[in-house]
Amino acid sequence: MFVVLGATGHIGANLVRALDQAGQRVIAVLHDADKAGAIATARVEPAVVDITDTEALHKVLRCGHRAFLLNPPADTRGDSDAAELATARSITDALEGSGLEKIVVASTYGAQKGEAIGDLSVLYDFEQRAKASGIPTAIDRAAYYYTNLDMLLDPARGGTLPTAFPADMVLPMVSPTDLAEAAYRRLVSGLDDVGIRYVEGPRAYTFQDVANAFSATLGRPVVVETTPREGWEQSFREAGFSAEAARAYARMTAATVDAPARPDNPIRGTVTLQAHIDSLVASGTP
């Protein structure tokens, strides 16, 4: 039995589907009871759990032999780093005595020790606490999600692509579909398949490439508009972020721009940036 956290998210839903299609039994952990019926199958058992309830999550983990762990994003209208650290610690505390033989942890490129660096420091803490459980731990560090670009659909329709990144900065990117495939492979592989692996798409892209992809699909020019570094924090505040979240996201952006992660031998997916943008535009909604 496999346990999958975040079972209705971009990665989790694809991972649950892959396991189900492979004939595996799955406990699909989600927080929204209204979505439980939609994911239930003969082999997929939904489990509605508040992941801040360590005891409840522990009981679910004890029912599986392997688990995929994903720390959900917090509401940026509050202190998102503090909230995400709390959920990460609840998840990893639930591992004690779970009897799991292997875990796969979703993390990010650039994960690093520190405080208030957004996902980079939160997910580094998540990695370390997962490894400290003593359970064989596979860590998938993901490149920049294509889905982070979905919020840019409306501006692109108007001809602009607002971003904190320089137009010519090379940035590894990846589809959640490919992340789910990588997670599936590591979840079912041997107990010796542990440690950090990096996962990205078929190639790295720039934000000029992103603008060009929107332009090709929308049939109109799209121009990159890079926000100067001194305006990053304010731009997050204008988007509705709390002061704490805006500061953390600005620091995360700075860390990414100043020292972009470019691993030598990543796991490469197959979904291209253009394919993602084509699908996004066809769907009509971010």
Averaged pLDDT score across all residues of the chain: 97
pLDDT band at 273; cut points 50, 70, 90: very high
The domain that holds 62 is classified in CATH as 3.40.50.720
User: What stretch of H or E contains 251?
Assistant: helix 243-258
In a domain, 57, yes or no: yes
In a domain, 277, yes or no: no
pLDDT band at 238; cut points 50, 70, 90: very high
In the predicted model, what is the mean pLDDT of residues 143-162? 97
Domain residues for the domain of 18 are: 2-144+175-200+264-268
In the predicted model, what is the mean pLDDT of residues 93-102? 98
pLDDT band at 260; cut points 50, 70, 90: confident
**Please, is 184 exposed, middle or buried when counting C-beta atoms within 10 Å of its C-beta (0-12, 13-18, 19+)?**
buried
Task: Kindly tell me if the per-residue pLDDT of 286 is higher than 70.
Answer: no
In a domain, 230, yes or no: no
- Rounded to 5 degrees, φ, ψ at 155 are -60, -40
pTM of the model as a whole:
0.95
Task: Write down the pLDDT at residue 86.
Answer: 97
Task: Write down the pLDDT at residue 261.
Answer: 85
In angstroms, the CA 178 to CA 203 distance is: 13
| pLDDT tens digit sequence for 190-201 | 999 999 999 999
In a domain, 39, yes or no: yes
pLDDT band at 114; cut points 50, 70, 90: very high
In a domain, 121, yes or no: yes
Number of domains in the chain: 1
| pLDDT tens digit sequence for 172-193 | 999 999 999 999 999 999 999 9
Closest C-alpha to 200, from 96, 152, 271: 271
| Residue pointed to by tokens 């660096």 | 117
Give the percent of the chain with pLDDT over 90. Answer: 97
User: What stretch of H or E contains 103?
Assistant: strand 102-108
In a domain, 159, yes or no: no
In a domain, 213, yes or no: no
In a domain, 225, yes or no: no
